């Protein structure tokens, strides 16, 4: 899985096309995920807004996606039952999702929230909150091989990785806490925002690599502003949802548009 992705990166490096290939693949993937997830999240939010307006309360999870392959993929024998999420799914579907995400993770450095998350939500039907925890557990093991392989290939900045880890240690605590207070569509809204900004930044970066002219520097700056500024926007969005969720559970009034994004008492 990851071995194939790492091998493809090294193959492109030997031909001097690693940057173009990785950026193009990343742009196509992130753009597709952002568009599809954003479309479904808007539908789910409108559905919950309708329930709230009718006085029926706001459920924690609503999925409005009906992928064409879903029913067929779930019924391929052998079929297993996941009691915590109350889902029956084909064993081959889960293995296939893991295989595809592993190849992508080794190739373009994604596979967790960007790929595995939407796949488990839309293809399997696992609730967003359970998907987050499931993905975090499996990535501990699957990322290990990719880490070692890329380190051996000289594709890792060790010092930068440790600096990122310092911030991630704190940010993970805030993000995990926020999942207790937000609904499924809110989780997917943040995913859409993060993936969409990543796609925009990647588009600028790819344009910079392909241009090779005077505009390359300006495009590269635009990519950095989008990517790093986007991280701040996403972090603020999560923090804002956490605050709104805490306020609602304490019985305080919050804006009507936020009722479908956070969980009440």
Q: How many CB atoms lie within 10 A of CB 213?
A: 9
**From CA 240, how far away is CA 229, in angstroms rounded?**
16
H-assigned helices in the chain: 2-14, 18-53, 70-74, 91-108, 117-118, 128-152, 158-178, 184-211, 215-249
How much is the pTM? 0.79
pLDDT (tens digit per residue) in 180-229: 899 999 999 998 998 999 899 989 988 888 876 567 778 888 888 898 88
Q: Give the 3-state secondary structure of residue 89.
A: strand
Q: Is 111 part of any domain?
A: yes
Q: Which domain holds residue 220?
A: 2-258
Q: How many CB atoms lie within 10 A of CB 1?
A: 18
Q: Give the 3-state secondary structure of residue 1.
A: coil
Q: Is 263 part of any domain?
A: no
User: For 42-66, b where at least 16 C-beta lie within 10 A, e where not — what string?
Assistant: eebbeebbeeeeeeeebbbbbbebe
Q: Is 264 part of any domain?
A: no
Q: Is 100 part of any domain?
A: yes
pLDDT (tens digit per residue) in 12-68: 566 556 677 777 888 888 899 999 999 999 999 999 999 888 888 788 888 777 654
Q: Is 222 part of any domain?
A: yes
The pLDDT of residue 35 is: 93
- Contacts of range 111-115, beta carbons closer than 8 Å, 24 or more positions apart: 111/139, 111/142, 112/136, 112/139, 113/191, 113/194, 114/29, 114/30, 114/33, 114/191, 114/195, 114/198, 115/29, 115/33
* Number of domains comprising the chain: 1
Q: Is 155 part of any domain?
A: yes
Q: Is 113 part of any domain?
A: yes
Given a contact cutoff of 8 angstroms between Cβ atoms, the answer to whether 223 and 208 are in contact is: yes
**From CA 100, how far away is CA 115, in angstroms rounded?**
9
Q: Give me 87's structure tokens.
A: 């889902």
């Amino acid at each position: 899985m990851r071995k194939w992705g790492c091998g493809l990166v090294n193959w492109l490096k030997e031909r001097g096309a690693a940057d173009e290939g990785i950026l193009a693949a990343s742009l196509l993937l992130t753009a597709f995920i952002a568009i599809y997830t954003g479309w479904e999240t808007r539908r789910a939010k409108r559905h919950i807004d309708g329930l709230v307006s009718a006085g029926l309360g706001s459920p924690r999870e609503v999925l409005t996606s009906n992928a064409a392959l879903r029913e067929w993929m779930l019924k391929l024998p052998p079929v297993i039952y996941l009691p915590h999420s109350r889902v029956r799914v084909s064993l081959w579907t889960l293995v296939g999702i893991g295989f595809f995400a592993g190849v992508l993770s080794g190739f373009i450095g994604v596979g967790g929230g960007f790929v595995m998350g939407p796949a488990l939500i839309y293809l399997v039907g696992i609730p967003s909150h359970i998907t987050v925890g499931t993905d975090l557990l499996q990535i501990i093991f699957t990322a290990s091989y990719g880490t070692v392989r890329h380190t051996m290939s000289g594709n890792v900045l060790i010092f930068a990785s440790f600096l990122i880890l310092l911030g991630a240690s704190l940010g993970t605590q805030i993000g995990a806490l926020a999942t207790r207070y937000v609904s499924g569509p809110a989780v997917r809204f943040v995913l859409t925002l993060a993936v969409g900004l990543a796609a925009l930044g990647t588009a600028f970066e790819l344009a910079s690599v392909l241009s090779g002219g005077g505009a390359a520097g300006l495009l590269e700056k635009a990519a950095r502003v989008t990517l790093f500024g986007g991280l701040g926007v996403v972090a603020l969005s999560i923090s804002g949802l956490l605050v709104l969720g805490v306020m609602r559970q304490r019985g305080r009034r919050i804006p009507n548009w936020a009722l479908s994004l956070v969980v009440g008492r």
